[in-house]
Amino acid sequence: MPGSTTIHTDALVMLSHADAERLATMLREMSRMSAGATGSGAEALSDGQLAALCRGKMDRGEFAEWSGKLSEYLKGHL
């Protein structure tokens, strides 16, 4: 569909172009906010926030890398 992005998973998910751009931007910011060994700074995610977001399944570095790569993937397919 023109103006939409399709994400291939077990089921297809359709997003409007604007929503896909917002999601890519949010993921890029989450990556930035979680980067670094301790995520220092006023905008950094705390260890507790990161644990809640990842449900304990990713560490800070993994989350920063995953969210950054997914953001770039989405941006590259808009």
Torsional sign, CA 28, 9, 50, 66:
negative
Q: How far apart are CA 38 and CA 31, in angstroms?
A: 13
The whole-model pTM stands at: 0.74
pLDDT digits (tens, 9 = 90+) for 13-69: 788 999 999 999 999 999 999 986 555 677 888 889 999 999 989 999 999 999 999
Q: Where are the domains of the chain?
A: 4-76
Where are the strands (E) in the chain, listed by range?
4-8, 12-16
